[in-house]
Amino acid sequence: MVAPASRRPPGHLVPAAGAFAAAVVLASSILLYSSPEEKRITIYSNAANYTLPVLERNGDEYVGLLEVFEPLGNVSAKLSGSHWKFRYYDVDSEFTAGKTRARIHGSDFDLPSNFLLENRRGLVPLSCLGTLMPRILGGPVTFNQNSRRLFVGNVAVHFTAQVSKTTPPKLVMNFTAPVNPMIATEPGKLRMAFNHEAVVAPGSQALTFDSKIIPSASFQENNGAAEIVVAASVPLMASFANNGHTIIVEPVPQAIPPTQATAPAQPQPNASPPISITTAPTAIHRYFAVVDPSHGGDERGASLTGQLAEKDVTLAFARRLRQELDNRGLATLLLRDGDTTLSLDQRASLTNSAHPAIYLCVHAATQGNGIRVYTALVPAEAETRGPFLNWDAAQTAFQLLSRSAGAALVTELQNRQIPARSIIAPLRPLNNITTPALAMEVAPPSDDVSQLNSPAYQQMIAGAIAAGIAGVREKLEAGR
């Protein structure tokens, strides 16, 4: 699975160094393709930010009460007949199955709908959380029921947005806490999805700017998430600064030919040069592509099922992809062809030494369906000085070509009726690769996760990806 840089659930890519401050673990429900979309509520607090499923029962929306309070502190629950006794620290509550009257901290409390018991699990109506939780927590709670976002205490993240008068203009957004949105682009728009950050709207949900290139931005929230959509008349790109407190949105510059790293010059006195990338001698065999099956060895990746590890699925899929590329005359190197442990730096160094036309990293996901295609978002603070290449900014000169290849791949997948979406995120080892680089996260075709291991499904996806890459062969070869 692939995740944004400052979150590290098991089996996900690792962050680009210095991109953001770590916060809470982000569930892998970000930008997934599920239809219809699962209803969920997100709760923000100083203890944790977390997302829970919302259940529909008898025409009302319900949520598990124990699950709501578990991340916030010490909880316990006990079932006695039809009575469900719940304790949060020293606050005792009692609910009765099929009844609206509850007892909380010695006082009566009326629910808007009946309390439900399912497999010893206590469910309360979602609409009561704004009044129920303060009774138990003893502190303020703000609940936006329409968007299903609940804030415990003063945890909201505010932001300002201003377009500079520079040429080209830049939209500078400053946040009161580090943020790490998932970023996606489409014609005329750049979307930033905040799935586990308590970002709230400024004074108005619609922002207008005195700029013909970046005229407006809008804030939206729905189904436990918030989104900022930036409108523009040209393609946009985003970068991060100030340890995740600042996002800078600006027009994509005109493509320039990538340059090879040269021998490092002497650094200036008292300067701290970035890590330089040493270029190994060109390999005798010129590979067109490097395919990297994620994880391996001691790193199992995500547990897709009880018996199926992500590292095994990615290896099987990568072997099929190599064969499909080879069949099209695209010589391909597999970074690991067995159960081998490779660090992210090793993966990047091996790729850079091979000088391929493109790097393709393969991941697998348990939720959604189709393919998510990732390209790197290089941290703005990762500065390159002179002939030195900052290790975390090695991808900079290749970002435009990477995104072009990614867009072509998504188009090919969609033409074959395979759900696909392009996403820009600060990921390693993409940031460290000195050639066009993509990471692909493959989800199952249905709710049956075991289908990820289906030879027919793997073959279909591998064939589509290989065709998409073959379609941009000339452009990739020209950029070498």
**Are 89 and 185 part of one and the same domain?**
no
**Residue 431 clears pLDDT 60, i.e. is over it:** yes
Determine, yes or no, domain membership for 24: no
- Quote the pLDDT of residue 4: 41
- List the one residue out of 190, 172, 183, 153 whose CA is nearest residue 4: 183
User: What's the pTM value of the predicted model, to 2 decimals?
Assistant: 0.53
DSSP state of 108: E
Q: Is residue 276 part of a domain?
A: yes
In a shared domain, residues 367 and 413: yes
Residues 416 and 277 in one domain: yes
One domain for residues 268 and 375: yes
Structural domain harbouring 400: 256-382+389-480
Tally of domains within the chain: 3
Phi, psi of 57 (to 5 degrees): -135, 125
pLDDT band for 198, please (50, 70, 90 cuts).
Answer: very high
The CA-CA-CA angle for residues 316, 321, 323, to 5°, reads 100
pLDDT band of residue 2 (cuts 50, 70, 90) is low
Instruction: Report if residue 29 sits inside a domain.
Output: no
Residue 316: HSE in the Cβ half-sphere, 13 Å Cα cutoff:
18
Task: Answer yes or no: is 162 within a domain.
Answer: yes
Chain segment 438-462, per-residue pLDDT in tens? 999 999 888 788 888 889 899 999 9
Is 12 contained in some domain? no
End position of a domain, from candidates 251, 278, 305: 251
Shared domain check, 202 and 60 = no
Q: Cβ–Cβ contacts within 10 Å for residue 407, how many?
A: 16
Q: Which helix (H) or strand (E) holds 121?
A: strand 121-125
Please give the mean pLDDT across all residues of the chain: 82
CATH of the domain at 343: 3.40.630.40
Range among 35-44, 204-213, 347-356, 442-451 with highest mean pLDDT value: 204-213
Domain boundary among 191, 221, 251: 251
Nearby residues of 76 by Cβ (< 8 Å), 6 or more positions away: 86, 87
The pLDDT of 292-317, averaged and rounded, is 86
326 with 407, same domain: the answer is yes
Confidence check: pLDDT of 269 > 50: no
pLDDT of residue 384: 54
Asked if 245 and 305 sit in the same domain, the reply is no
User: What proportion of the chain, given as a percentage, has pLDDT over 70?
Assistant: 83
Say if residue 39's pLDDT is above 80.
Answer: yes
Residue with token string 């949900």: 205
Domain stops at, among 224, 251, 278: 251
Tokens of 128: 């009561």
Report residue 383's pLDDT band, with 50, 70 and 90 as the boundaries.
Answer: low
Whether 374 contacts 439, CB under 8 Å: yes
